[in-house]
């Protein structure tokens, strides 16, 4: 299957700082990328969806000014957690898919990034 990478795999930061997480599709063009958040022993919660070159669409309840998403190319999306606080600590997982926004093609998932805010 297609490969999606995330960097870093783990990050620890101080409260009030910003953290950037990168998501890359290594062997296909990801026209659509998704960012999820997963709490311990819980399911994945979709945060936002982005199309290459367009603004991200955020799910209800997700602060777009806090979770900045950039999808500048067909292989790279970034999630920046701004002014991070301990409650932002979580496992963040990206996913990428080829095709149109309405495509039902397979979504490929990155390995996740564990964010800990002290």
Site for another protein in 47-106 (CB under 8 A): 49, 51, 57, 91, 93, 95, 101-104, 106
Phi/psi zone of residue 86: left (φ > 0), alpha (ψ -120 to 50 degrees), beta?
A: alpha
Q: Is 32 in the site for another protein (CB under 8 A)?
A: yes
Q: Which of 4/19 has CB closer to another protein?
A: 4
Positive/negative CA dihedral, 55, 59, 62, 63 = positive
Asked if residues 108 and 64 have their Cβ atoms less than 8 Å apart, the reply is no
User: Segment contacting another protein (CB under 8 A): 14-22, 34-42, 64-72, 81-89?
Assistant: 34-42
Decide: 109 and 93 in contact? Cβ < 8 Å. yes
Candidates 44, 62, 68, 98; binder of another protein (CB under 8 A) is 44
Helix (H) or strand (E) holding 108, with range, is strand 108-109
Q: Is 46 in the site for another protein (CB under 8 A)?
A: yes
Map residue 86 onto helix, strand or coil: helix
Q: Which residues bind another protein (CB under 8 A)?
A: 1, 4, 6, 32, 34, 41-44, 46, 49, 51, 57, 91, 93, 95, 101-104, 106-112, 114
């Amino acid at each position: 299957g297609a490969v999606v990478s995330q960097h870093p795999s783990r990050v620890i930061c101080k409260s009030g700082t910003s953290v950037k997480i990168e998501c890359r599709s290594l062997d296909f063009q990801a026209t659509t990328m998704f960012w999820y958040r997963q709490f311990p022993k819980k399911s994945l919660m979709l945060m936002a969806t982005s199309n290459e070159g367009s603004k991200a669409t955020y799910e209800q309840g997700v602060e777009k000014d806090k979770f900045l998403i950039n999808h500048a190319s067909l292989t790279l999306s970034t999630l920046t957690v701004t002014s991070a606080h301990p409650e932002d600590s979580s496992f963040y997982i990206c996913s990428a898919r080829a095709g149109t926004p309405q495509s039902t093609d397979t979504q490929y998932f990155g390995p996740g990034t564990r964010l800990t805010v002290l």
